[in-house]
A and B are shown apart, each in its own frame.
Chain A
Amino acid sequence: MLILTCPCCGVTAEETEFHGGGEAHLKREGPGSDDAAFEGYLFHRENPRGVHFERWRHVYGCGKWFHAARDTGTLEVFGTYSAQTTEPPADLLEKIRERRPGWSWREFS
């Protein structure tokens, strides 16, 4: 059972207070997108053993969505940050580079 810190209300709490919401930073494909792009958006997900970016909701707390960067293998949490962004913050990426040299995830590395 993970411990996460909600970046919105600042509470550090147990996993039971949160709800996972799958992969972060998906780009929505709407009407007009081609089949392959839409299929990718709806169905294709990263499944790494290592650095991963996820969506979480502080469902039994402030109710806000946020993002978490963590290692799915070691369970290390690199950080949590606002869901209202299209990419992870630069200082978090820098921290991950320090902790996991050579990592990459989708277009980030």
Chain B
Amino acid sequence: MSTRLTQGGARIDRTKPVSFRFNGQQLKGYEGDTLASALLANDRMMVGRSFKYHRPRGVVASGTEEPNALLGIGQGGRFEPNQRATMQEVFEGLESTSQNHWPSLEFDVGEINASLSRFLPAGFYYKTFLWPRSFWKHVYEPFIRQSAGLGKAPKDRDADTYEHFYHYCDVLVIGGGLAGLAAARAAASGGARVTVMEQEAHWCGRAADDGAEAQVADLVAELEGMENVTLRTRCMGAGVYDHGYVLGYERLTDHLSEKSGPRHRLWRVRAGQVITATGAIERPLSFAGNDLPGVMLASALRDYVVQFGVSVGDRTVVVTNNDDAYLTALALVGAGLTVPVIVDARQGGGGALAAEAEAKGIRVLKGHGIAKVKGRKRVTGVAICKQVGEGAVTEEIACDAVAMSGGWSPVVHLWSHCGGKLTWDDAQAMFRPDGTRPPTGEDGKGFVICAGAADGAFDRAEVAASGTKAGLAAAEAVGQAGSVSDLTAPEARGDNPIEPVWLMPASAKRKLRAKAWLDYQNDVKVTDVQLAAQEGFESVEHAKRYTTLGMATDQGKLSNINGLAILSGALDTPIPQVGTTRFRPPFTPISMGAIAGEARAETFQPLRRTPLHQWHVDNGADFEPVGQWRRPFCYIRPGEDRHSAVTREINQTRNSLGLLDASTLGKLIVKGPDAGRFMDMLYTNMMSTLQPGRCRYGLMCSENGFLMDDGVVARWDEETFLCHTTTGGADHIHAHMEEWLQTEWWDWKVWTVNATEQYAQIGVVGPKARTVLEKLGATNIANEDFPFMTFQDHKLAGIDARVYRISFSGELSYEIAVPAGQGLALWTALMEAGAEFGATPYGTEALHVLRAEKGFIMIGDETDGTVIPQDLGLNWAISKKKEDFIGKRAQSREDMAREDRWKLVGLETLDKSVLPDGAYVLADGTNANGQRTVQGRVTSSYYSPTLERGIAMGLVLRGPDRMGETIQLNKVDGSSVAARIVDPVFYDKENTKNV
């Protein structure tokens, strides 16, 4: 069993016990424990079930690479699934739960998948789920849903806050082990601003194995005393991006009982040079049963004994192909535990450490391997065999833990994120950074330097020297060269070289290979990768996706190299030619909260308010978002619902007087000697002939010919045009104007300004509109004196106003523009003057219905980026005289000019019902996919209180040629409804009201 030893544990404080819960049970640990070490101390060997076969799984590593010990941490608004127990520090009151099992961790129904494993090979989903069609809905989909993912998504709103932090430094060092700290010391020696990020809570990294703690403590003290150095623990270098941009992920409260302040901080760093001293990750060995709880990486097992005072088992078999694992054997024996045998796959065995182990009386079996691990829910023993054979068992040894080491893989992720290349190091059997091909910055020079084990240096002296060298090089590259003395280091250890072992035993039979795991988290075995190769998935990226190797949350930190070595063997192609899959950021998953930072809820995006916004709030406005604006949808009075409010607003506007806050409409000023010429290019109509004082409705198309915006243009004077745009169009139409002016017609003398927010604009609409204006002081505004589509300046209620006589409702209508600061005063004056006529503010829904009753199009309803003005019967607004305008050439393309385009018509249901928005016009027959053929669609559909029936507009095949024809449209419930094709102008066709 695994237990806490009475002695040892450099990182734990035995005077500070903490209690925490795992699956509801109260357990004890110490301050300094990780959740993994604390669980092991309490004999919780099994911590989860595997993804596919639901096999029992235990802790296998002691750091970020952990694939198995993924737990749900916290409760309620602080619950988060899939957290690595090896990175979670224990604190008083910590809540944790295991995942992917039902009904319990110990007894799990899904375990049956394991006995079906022969029928669940690589690519199982792709092969099986093709047929029959009905199974998708009733069998596959529920099955996949049930088994997809490990943890459960949180249900509550996140109770924590997060923040972003912008940071600039000359040299950023990622990794606070010996190499990183040596690099920081060297980099800072010439005065460069240096920042060091260490993902764990403590410094030193794996250098503790080499007894470097004291030296590291001195280095940290020295760096802490330097003003130009910033040090951060619990801060992971998450990703390296273009031109020295780096994301850091700092965990501020995940280790605390009392949470206050932000939980995570996302560091957005711009660094001159980046040093990645990210260490190396130990590789598992591929032998049968290597996934049983109790089988662990040799370095992890050593960590638990030395750093946490936890013994994983009383009898530990060590199996290795390199010298490093002997450290584990020596540490175990040093702690009074038993190592029955060290199984070394190398015929020649190990070097100095091996000699030391043998001197201590530990049995060493050279040229051997593990044929099979015995046990069901935890290790009970191993069967030993020759490494070279097929796995004939030579002896069985009882044990309760296995420490394995297949060699070390440098953590090249951060080097590779932005394009750093790798090279295969045959002597050390690993990919390492190719220092001659680093990621390059804006100047074309490398901006990342690797140091220490991340660069393939493992001996302590080499590690320190590598760090110092990297630091000096980085300082020089940022123009702050310095110098430092070399760090002292003991003599090299005298290791024998590693011998690569990708399968144990080398010629293992299928039965053994099918139990040899490569990817623990996604349940991928040696046989799966071999099957992928056999079925033709030869590219490493294809094999990855077919088998899901390396696609879990650990992104293959343990499995990738072993997997591609198996692929290399199956393809009979050398490893470097097989290559690696792409390394993508982040290095380990980071929280969504950290990515969002402060941008959530009310601070997610700015809210735009019109000068009248507060009046709307105070008067029952039911708001809807329109871009970043909030506009009243309608104003609800006591006893009303939305529908009755909208109906009241429409009737009152048609019969007496309505008021609209039109301030959000875009107001772009185009000015200059060439303004007319430019306007002629922007709009499909002729705008240069518009007389000052007059208005004209215009259409704007993209260069593709599609209608992109519309609105009324007013010519203020000879050189000045005011372009009204849609609310949502103001910013991008202004950008559109600037783009053409700056990049195509840059010699034209034109200036544009987006004046949208400078004016409050109020629509005064209805039969009483003129009377109200007169009450406020306007004179000579009879129809003849102030005709439709002109504007005049008036003083209204003492306010200088520009009054446009334009209409989007068919009613007599004025849009009055005043400086934004005068908006509320004018609105209040209009409400007071209009009170005797029942002046009624109306919202966007009434606006939409009023315009639809008149057959006016709305950008975004009648258009969707594929519609040209000709489709909407707007040919009258397209100048035939002009040689050119933006979009003209495109409108003569074959597809645009074809006769059988869907064109705008009105639609009237025979039963007066309201058509579903977006309903399709049905045609006979089905298409190649068996779907009903369609011949048009509804673009706008409303209940018209004026006509007391449903009205709609739609685009219908040859629609204008089919007036009076009855067509069928589909409804959501699968039935259809009959409608007649009619003129889109439903109300006041003769324009009798706007006089």
Contact = CB atoms under 8 A, between A and B. Distances in A.
A60 B894 CA distance: 39
A77 B742 contact: no
A3 interface: yes
Interface of A is mostly: loop
Interface centre among B419, B443, B444, B893 (most CB of A within 10 A): B444
B444 A38 contact: no
Contacts of A71: 444
B743 A3 contact: no
A1 B889 contact: no
B242 A42 contact: no
A83 B743 CA distance: 6
Interface in A18-39: 21, 28-33, 35, 38
Interface string A82-97: 0110000000000000
A96 to B, nearest CB: 11
Contacts of A55: 743
Contacts, number: 72
B104 to A, nearest CB: 47
Contacts of A3: 242-244, 270, 442
Interface in A25-78: 28-33, 35, 38, 42, 55, 57, 59, 63-65, 71, 73-77
B890 interface: yes
Interface string B240-280: 01111100000000000000000000000010000000000
A65 B890 contact: no
Contacts of B241: 1
A38 B889 contact: yes
B213 interface: no
Contact of B888 (A30, A35, A74, A76): A30
Interface string B738-753: 1100111010000000
B888 A2 contact: no
A29 B889 CA distance: 8
Interface centre among B441, B443, B883 (most CB of A within 10 A): B441
A75 B742 contact: no
A101 to B, nearest CB: 14
Contacts of B889: 29-33, 38
Contacts of A38: 889-890, 893
Given A28-B744, A38-B889, A42-B703, A63 B243 contact: no
Contacts of B774: none
Contact of A65 (B245, B442, B443, B739): B739
Nearest to A28: B744
B270 A14 contact: yes
B888 A75 contact: no
A77 B243 CA distance: 10
Contacts of B883: 31
Contacts of B245: 1, 14
B440 A76 contact: yes
A75 B442 contact: yes
Contact of A99 (B441, B444, B704): B444
A30 to B, nearest CB: 5
A83 B742 contact: yes
24 contacts: A1-B242, A1-B245, A2-B442, A3-B242, A14-B270, A30-B888, A31-B888, A31-B892, A32-B889, A35-B893, A38-B889, A38-B893, A59-B735, A74-B419, A74-B444, A76-B440, A76-B441, A76-B442, A76-B443, A77-B443, A83-B742, A83-B743, A83-B746, A84-B742
Given A42-B890, A75-B442, A84-B743, 12 more contacts: A14-B270, A30-B884, A33-B889, A38-B889, A64-B742, A74-B419, A74-B444, A75-B242, A75-B418, A75-B419, A83-B743, A83-B746
